[in-house]
Structure 1
Amino acid sequence: MIRNFFRHLANSFKNLFRNGWMTIAAISMVTVTLTLVGIFAAGLLNIERIASGVENNIQINVYLDPSSQDNSETTTDPAGQTIANTSYHSIYNQIQALDGVDSITFSSKDDQLAQLQETMGEDWKLFDGDSNPLSDAYIVKTKTPDDVKSVAEAIQSIQGVDSVEYGGTSSENIMALASKIRLWGLVGTGILVLVAIFLISNTIRMTIFSRSRDIEIMRLVGAKNSYIRGPFFYEGAWVGLIGAIVPAVIIYFGYHWVYDNYNPSLLTEGLSLYDINVFLPAMIGAMALVGIVIGSLGSILSMRRFLKI
């Protein structure tokens, strides 16, 4: 068996050169098809990642009543004495107890004002101290994007909460769009792969058809189907592997260009493309594997008619 394996492997490699233009035609078809599949898959995966990032960045801003001291452990009594705040974290604990809440971060009105002064300019200096019009807030993140609306509605009913903001309809539209991207992206990828198998198998069928006489001779001398199929199986795998080289090069340099030019701006929004050191090896390896599988599968499907008794 091992001897036959190496014999079939050697013969399949020789046949690539022996069949000249037919081999070039098959490799070209694999190259074009895998290039389209690779670009589509790389784009889809990164669009889905960005959409998921946008979903995960949706947060609930819970603004407290102006008089609230929910995050203060101490308070001042009418005599001016500092005492323990009996209502400390009353609102916080009610939010934490809600199903779907993942984390809660306090944002004081002074911190919010300082951030506005940094981004909007010196005009906001007028609101320092007691003139600060902002409210203390809790920033709530949910376990899943689907929990945002229900958690926001539940928080709105808690006493001591002034208002709740989470993006409303805009956030719901973003989550709906992300779901559609995932669904139609998978459907599109599946259709493209099926088309790739069809086109490549038909091209390989042409190469096998041109050697139908050789197959008939091997059958006449008593060769088993598995023995006849071997060289063609490996030849299809070679065609798929070689055809994946150019698409891999295009994806490598193309993704480098996209990553270097667009990822820095995405990072400022808390988003990112897939890490280049992880994505490219996985993508190139997957393309090589898909090329081998489609090429060898195309050979097997194409030979069925010639091996029927």
Structure 2
Amino acid sequence: MRWLYLFLYELKHAFIKIKRHFVLCLSSSMAVFVSIFLVACCLIVGFHVDSFSRNVESDVRIHVVLQTTVSDDQLPIIEEEIKNISNVNTVTFSSKDDELELMIEEKGKAFEMYRGEENPLANAYFVTVKDGSKIEKTVSQIEQIENVASCAYGGSSVTQLMKLMEKVRTVGYGVALLLVFLSLYLIHNTIKTTIYSQQSEIAIMKTVGATSAFIRLPFEIQGMFIGFVGSIATYFLVKIGYAKIYEIVGGKLFVNVLKLIEPSQMMHQMGWIIFVLGIGIGWLASKLAVSKYVRKNR
């Protein structure tokens, strides 16, 4: 009961501090709101780059064309060799008749004359990979298999797109990290200003025997409150704004591969991140500020 009483006293004392310095706390909350909102935007970009990369990787298939002299008995052996390559995900057989139908569909009805015995094409496989960044190495390994005539997968444009997405994701997460440190700095300065305005009060508390933890807790609660207020504003702006953008663009950017994450799924990911960031940054910044002051003035 004693600890509960002390905590409730500290909580009351923290909100008295917030009331006394309401304008300062509100301005800090708005600054934290802007910082966390920008962090959230960077994270949303990063999440979408991850999603786009997975979509591109799942959509990219290696077209493995076999020699025309390959017999039906050799097909299972070649397929097993392809499956044994570590980065291969799935292997789908495409007969020479299937290949001709694909050619007719892509290049026109002029190729219908090759149906039947006149079909000059060879059997093939469509291969998907586990890691798109290693597709060039996988293609090289498949080409070394006996009776494989050629491999096609989209060339350097695919790997360049994946490398570009990786760079965008890295930059996004890097900017988000810098903004987290900016939020820490803003709340740290706010709490430090509050501490300096209450130096005499803190000195009296230390004189009558108050512990460092007792002095710190109200300031830490104040910092958590500042972060929480900033998080609430960020959460609702992101929720409303993202849903609106998703509706305007129809859930995708130009093509199906660049499909946006569903708003409910996005907020499920972002909700806890926003609140943990806001409250955590508020607590840590306050703890650093008040701990430094208490150590300096023992």
Alpha-carbon distance in structure 1 between the residues aligned to 2:49 and 2:88: 27
TM, length-normalised to structure 2 = 0.84
The residue identity in structure 2 corresponding to 1:7 is Y
3-state DSSP class of the match of 1:244? helix
**Residue of structure 1 aligned with 2:156, choices 169, 172, 190:** 169
The residue identity in structure 2 corresponding to 1:47 is V
**Residue of structure 2 aligned with 1:125, choices 88, 99, 109:** 109
Could you tell me which residue of structure 2 aligns to residue 214 of structure 1? 201
Alpha-carbon distance in structure 2 between the residues aligned to 1:263 and 1:59: 27
- With 181-190 and 219-228 compared, the bigger mean Cα shift is at 181-190
The residue identity in structure 2 corresponding to 1:153 is S
**Residue of structure 1 aligned with 2:25, choices 17, 23, 26:** 23
- With 272-281 and 23-32 compared, the bigger mean Cα shift is at 272-281
The residue identity in structure 2 corresponding to 1:290 is L
Could you tell me which residue of structure 2 aligns to residue 9 of structure 1? 11
Aligned residues: 291
3-state DSSP class of the match of 1:99? coil
Give RMSD over aligned pairs. 2.8
3-state DSSP class of the match of 2:85? coil
Alignment of 1:1-309 (within 5 A): 1-66=3-68, 68=70, 70=72, 86-111=73-98, 114=101, 124-128=108-112, 129-130=115-116, 135-262=122-249, 264-265=251-252, 269-307=256-294, 308-309=297-298
The residue identity in structure 2 corresponding to 1:177 is L
How high is the sequence identity, in percent, across the aligned residues? 30
Alpha-carbon distance in structure 2 between the residues aligned to 1:45 and 1:137: 35
Checking the alignment, whether the CA contact within 8 Å between 2:235 and 2:274 is kept in structure 1 is: yes
Deviation of 1:193 (Å): 1.3
Checking the alignment, whether the CA contact within 8 Å between 1:127 and 1:133 is kept in structure 2 is: no
Mark the runs of 5 or more structure 2 residues left unpaired by the alignment.
Answer: none
Could you tell me which residue of structure 2 aligns to residue 78 of structure 1? none
Alpha-carbon distance in structure 2 between the residues aligned to 1:291 and 1:115: 54
1:179-217 Cα deviation digits (max 9, x unpaired):
433443333322221122112211232233223332223
Q: Higher helix fraction: Structure 1 or Structure 2?
A: 2
Deviation of 1:248 (Å): 0.8
Deviation of 1:267 (Å): 9.6
TM, length-normalised to structure 1 = 0.81
